[in-house]
Amino acid sequence: MAMPSRKRIVLWMFLIFLVVFFGGIIAYLAPVLFGETTYDAQGNPVREISLFPFGDNTTTGSPIDVIIQDPVISGGSEVTDNETRGNDADRQNQLRLIDEGPVIGAYFYNDTTHSGLVGPATATTTDRDVENVFRYIELGTGHVFEGTTNTGEINRISNTTIPKIAEARFVNENRIIMRYSDATDRIKTFSAELVRNFAGSAGTAFKLQGIFLTDNILDLDISPSGKLLQVQSRIAGSDRASVIVSDQQGGNPVQVHASPVTEWLGSWNNQERVALLQSKPSYNTVSVAYTLDTQTGAFAPYILGRNGLSVTASTDLDDAVISVNENGATKLYAWNRTENQYIDLELSTFAEKCVHAAVRNKFYCAVPMGTVAEAEPDLWYQGVTSYSDQIWEIDPVTGRSNLLLLPIAFTEKQLDMIDLSISSDEQFLYFRDKRERSLWSFHIDYDVTSGERSPESELPPIGTVSSAEATTTASTTVSATTTVTEPAESFFE
């Protein structure tokens, strides 16, 4: 047999060398290229990718790592950022997804006595030391759920099924006003009460029972004591609509106002006597807002004559944020009734996306990122447009606006926030997403570095980003409570 030539032997040796050389490099860099799988304290798989495989870029300590892991759902909260920035548990506590929805009504209250809490048989008062409790209604079933802001525990407390329900408002933790349209397009309003089932009975802890109110109640709101402000359809034999005040079950009705305007939106603003009536806003129609004394029937102008006018007022009605459509631009103003002074906040949102905190005397508003469409709020009402919101804190006295929350730093979901409300201790904001009708909570003063509440006196220094820049920037590096804009004072012409 012929011996291989010297040239062929050299070639084979060279090929073997290349295979060994590049194989060693690939084996060495595998953790960098593909990541190492390790496990955290809970046993969850974690992939770690070192950005500096050939040595640390600092003088001391270990190499800098970026940790990439799958989205985690824990305690009702969703973390969707691929790259972690700080403590995940802290971030989940600050912005929390309570329920993916669809949710149609929610109520939040303090219960230090634990009298309303319903949990598994193993739950005890000592391990349920909570303040903020929430209850909410599931769309399509009418089932009632309950949970707390301190734990991830959520329980179905009533499985009474009301399949057609389209709107629900809580009078208190146990009384709910539910509304829907029947087969003949009549608006049906049902005043329901959560009644405890007998101990030891099968099923949930509560059931719903109640009575129907008058048909075709166009709008309603609830006073602090639970009275109902009803805007009813046109009075028989007249071209006027009526505003009725009644008890929680529709009893003892008193007509306090009659008007040719049928599309009033009523709000009680935590005052027992004076309510606010607004005409529905439209970009091409002049809207108005009036105060209504529910005892005397006195009807007085509050704010008049602006296209697209929407108002969210303080408890005493002395301060308000108002949105208007000015030549196709949606603008938000702070207004003081005593001075009749308007401050241009240089923010573009709808006042109904705001809520007032009485103790702080601050407004918290969901403000869209980017440009708001010209024909608003009409297109938004119709579902043609939707927005991705931030949360801003507004001082109505000075007009200073402080950016509190940039949701894209926490979640990939685009949150078009509606139905903003605030807990009685003013620590938590709650809202629903208009698209998915999911329910969320946001801890206003949460310190992501310590996991504790931050006193206002210890907040970080004021930043330099203007509100106009912040609402058009998608950067996830903006920290809570660091972005402030000074107001541009102006008056309506």
In sequence order, what DSSP letters do the residues of 176-201 get, joined into one string? EEEEEE-TT-PEEEEEEEEEEPPTT-
- Quote the pLDDT of residue 124: 38
Tokens matching residue 248: 């929680």
Cα separation, 124 vs 166, whole angstroms? 35
Cα 433 versus chain centre, distance: 7
Alpha-carbon distance of 130 to 127, in angstroms, equals 9
Whether 94 is in a domain gets the answer no
Q: Which of 14-23, 60-69, 421-430 shows the highest mean pLDDT?
A: 421-430
**Which pLDDT belongs to residue 49?**
29
Scanning the structure block, which residue is given the tokens 């009298």? 115
| CA 65/CA 35 separation, integer angstroms | 11
Q: Answer yes or no: is pLDDT of 67 > 80.
A: no
CA nearest 82: which of 95, 63, 64, 68? 68
Within 8 A by CB and 6+ apart from 331, the residues are 323, 324, 325, 344, 348
| 303-332 average pLDDT score | 94
Supply the pLDDT for residue 25: 58
Q: What percent of the chain is predicted at pLDDT more than 70?
A: 67
Label residue 233 by pLDDT band (50, 70, 90). Answer: confident
pLDDT at residue number 93: 62
Tell me: pLDDT of 416 over 60. Answer: yes
What confidence category does residue 486 fall into, taking pLDDT thresholds of 50, 70 and 90?
low
The confidence score (pLDDT) of residue 262 equals 79
> Is it true that the peptide bond before 377 is cis, omega within 30 degrees of 0?
yes
**Largest alpha-carbon pair distance within the chain?**
120
The confidence score (pLDDT) of residue 475 equals 29
Secondary structure class of 21 (helix, strand, coil): helix
Question: Are the beta carbons of 367 and 350 closer than 8 angstroms?
Answer: no
Written as six digits, the tokens of 147 are 């949970």
pLDDT at residue 35, rounded to an integer:
42
Distance CA 276, CA 311 (A): 9
| Counted domains in the chain | 2
Torsion sign, CA atoms 370, 373, 377, 381: negative
Q: What is the pLDDT of residue 284?
A: 94
Kindly indicate the confidence band of residue 2, based on its pLDDT and cuts at 50, 70 and 90. low
What pairing do the DSSP bridges indicate for beta strands 217-222 and 206-212?
A: unpaired
What average pLDDT does the segment 115-135 reach?
Answer: 52
Task: For residue 276, give both structure tokens.
Answer: 């606010």
| Percent of the residues in the chain that have a pLDDT greater than 90, as a whole number | 47
pLDDT of residue 362: 96
> Cα dihedral sign for 300, 227, 217, 317?
positive
Residues 234-293: pLDDT tens digits?
A: 665 667 788 999 998 889 999 999 988 878 999 987 678 899 999 999 999 999 999 999
Note whether 485 and 365 are within 8 A (CB).
no
- pLDDT tens string 213-223: 999 898 889 98
Q: Residue 46: its pLDDT value, please? A: 35
Residue 41 domain flag: yes
Of 333, 340, 330, residue with least CA distance to 308 = 330
Among the listed residues 189, 432, 467, 427, the one whose alpha carbon sits nearest the alpha carbon of residue 344:
467
Residue 485 pLDDT > 60, yes or no?
Answer: no
pLDDT at residue 297 in the model: 92
- Give me the chain's average pLDDT, please: 75
Q: Strand, helix or coil at 226?
A: coil
* Contacts (Cβ under 8 Å, ≥6 apart) of 133: 108, 109, 110, 111, 116, 117, 146, 147, 148, 149, 173
- At position 421, the amino acid (one-letter code) is S
Q: What is the mean pLDDT of residues 170-186?
A: 91
Q: Which whole number is the average pLDDT over 296-321?
A: 93
> What is the pairing mode between strands 144-148 and 132-138?
antiparallel
Q: How confident is the model at residue 409 (pLDDT cuts 50, 70, 90)?
A: confident
Q: What are phi and psi of 456, to 5 degrees?
A: -60, -30
Of 467, 459, 460, 461, which is closest to residue 486 (Cα–Cα)? 467
Residue 97 lies in a domain: no
Residue 109 lies in a domain: no
Flag whether 9 is in a domain. no
Q: Categorize the per-residue pLDDT at 97 as very low, low, confident or very high, splitting at 50, 70 and 90.
A: very high
In this model, does residue 195 exceed pLDDT 50? yes
Smallest CA-to-CA distance from 309 within 338, 341, 331 is with 331
Q: What is the pLDDT of residue 26?
A: 58
The predicted structure's pLDDT at residue 87: 33
Q: How confident is the model at residue 164 (pLDDT cuts 50, 70, 90)?
A: confident
Q: What is the pLDDT of residue 468?
A: 41
How far does the chain reach from its first CA to its final CA, in angstroms? 107
Q: Which residues contact 76 (CB under 8 A, 6 or more apart)?
A: 96, 97, 98, 99, 147, 152, 154
Locate tokens 């894209």: which residue? 408
Q: 3-class DSSP state for residue 224? A: coil
Q: Is residue 398 part of a domain?
A: yes
Does residue 7 form part of some domain?
A: no
Query: What pTM was computed for the model?
Result: 0.72
Q: Is the residue at 329 inside a domain?
A: yes
Using pLDDT thresholds of 50, 70 and 90, give the confidence band for residue 23: low
Instruction: Show the domain range for 58.
Output: 18-70
